[in-house]
Structure 1
Amino acid sequence: MTSNLISRYVAVWNEPDPTARRRAVAELWAEDGVQYTETAEHHGHDALQARVAGAYDQFVAPGEFAFTAADDVVTHHDAVTFTTHMVPATGGAPVWSGTLFLLLGADGRIRRDYQFTGTEAGTRAVVTEFLGRLAGGDPDRIAGLFADVVDWQLDWPEAGHPAVPWIRERSTRADVADHFRALNAFHGERGATTPRILVDGRDAVVLGEIRQTVKATGRPYAARCALHLTVEGGLITRYHVYEDSLTVAQAFTG
């Protein structure tokens, strides 16, 4: 029931037909339902209809953006919370994210709708998109999430290591693409454990374990790692990696 509610909630913001949109608003919110944003209140079906229509006309109708929901729903008695994103219609990282907190009535319709637009939701959205692109392996798509200038640091001696030439100083978006291109050149099968993402404002820490295969020898290896990422303006500006570098070097030197 909750997943259906969230699907319908997101769909109404993308609905192009005014009649269908008005009907969906009446089915989602109670007659005295209210949405609270950080700067406004929208009371009742007429105000909610105007609110949804305004967002559609501004963001969705021109064909630039669409609204989606993250897979992070939490329910507690008559309360539901989840994250929504506004993403480019052609795909890519969210340009806006918000956390929704809904209080439902006995009939399952929304009585109170609190929308929080915060830095942490945006940070988590960009980091999640980055991990998805990282799994896809396309260096240019990965680099597209980075700022023009990046604070780049890997947990290696400044002189580097001859067995892992891709690990060196980087500072630009082009460098980022080159880094992941080199990773692809030296590795065969690549994977990772399900990461844990910790977010504090603009900063995020990703904890996990990488599992890769040396392309030249077919030797598999696994190494624990942590990423410290900073997101500003929807782009990654800091990329600090702390990994089990000894395991990586041994995999390539035998």
Structure 2
Amino acid sequence: MTDVRGLVEQYIAVWNETDAGKRRALVADVFTEEVGFTDPLGAVTGHDGIDQHVAGAQQQFGGLTISLPAEPDAHHDLARFHWHLGAPGAEPVAIGFDVIEIEDGRIAKVHGFLDKMPG
């Protein structure tokens, strides 16, 4: 059984890593080669797609970080979890809910939902 909490923490680390080389290495560790990612702001595939999507979000929300406010819930090859985007100790500016599909200990698909967005 995959360490779901650890995998989700690595996923969050990808979103918070601002060094492009380190982020790219994390992407390779966390996601399958053919990963699919879909949320209301875009749909991408593969390591390049994930890396570019994360880099774009970081440009838009520079200085803010994503945190995991509660334990992930998982069964079989699926996990779901909430995340918060904001400055440490402050009210989150964005809140989301992601469902991931796990394949051989890595994330194969991400289905993202936004509960709260600025503006």
TM-score (norm 1): 0.43
Alpha-carbon separation, structure 2, partners of 1:75 and 1:58: 30
What does residue 117 of structure 1 align with? Answer: 114
**Is residue 108 of structure 1 aligned with residue 110 of structure 2?**
no
> Could you say which residue in structure 1 is the equivalent of 2:19?
17
CA RMSD, Structure 1 to Structure 2 (Å): 1.7
| Aligned pairs (5 A) from 1:194-233 | none
CA drift at 1:40: 2.0
CA shift, 1:39, in A, is: 4.1
Q: In the alignment, which of 2, 6, 10 is matched to residue 8 of structure 1? A: 10
Mapped partners of 1:93, 1:118: distance in 2 = 14
Tell me the CA shift for residue 70 of structure 1.
1.6
Aligned partner of residue 61 in structure 2, secondary structure:
helix
Corresponding residue of 1:50: 52
Q: 1:118 Cα shift?
A: 2.3
What does 1:75-224 correspond to in 2, within 5 Å? 75-89=74-88, 91-105=89-103, 107-118=104-115
Does structure 1 conserve the Cα–Cα contact (< 8 Å) formed by 2:32 and 2:108?
Answer: yes
The letter for the 1-side match of 2:97 is: T
Correspondence for 1:35: 37
Unaligned runs of 5+ in 1: 123-232, 234-254
Give the secondary structure class of the aligned counterpart of 2:95: strand
Counterpart of 2:109 in structure 1: which amino acid? R
Deviation at 1:72, TM superposition (A): 3.4
Percent of paired sites with the same residue: 32
Q: Which structure's relative contact order is higher, taking Cα pairs within 8 Å and 6+ residues apart?
A: 2
Cα distance in 2 for residues equivalent to 1:50 and 1:56: 10
Q: Secondary structure at the match of 1:117?
A: strand
- Structure 2: stretches of 5+ with no match in the other structure: none
**CA distance in structure 2 between the partners assigned to 1:66 and 1:112 by the alignment:** 22
Shift in Å at residue 47 of structure 1?
Answer: 0.8
After TM superposition, the runs of 4+ consecutive aligned structure 1 residues lying more than 6 A away are none
1:93-118 CA-to-partner distances (Å, cap 9, x unmatched) read: 1111000100011x211111000112
- Contact kept? 2:94, 2:115, Cα under 8 Å: no
Is it true that 1:68 corresponds to 2:67 in the alignment?
Answer: yes
SS in 2 for 1:92: coil
Q: Normalised by the size of structure 2, how large is the TM-score?
A: 0.89
Mark the structure with the bigger radius of gyration.
Answer: 1
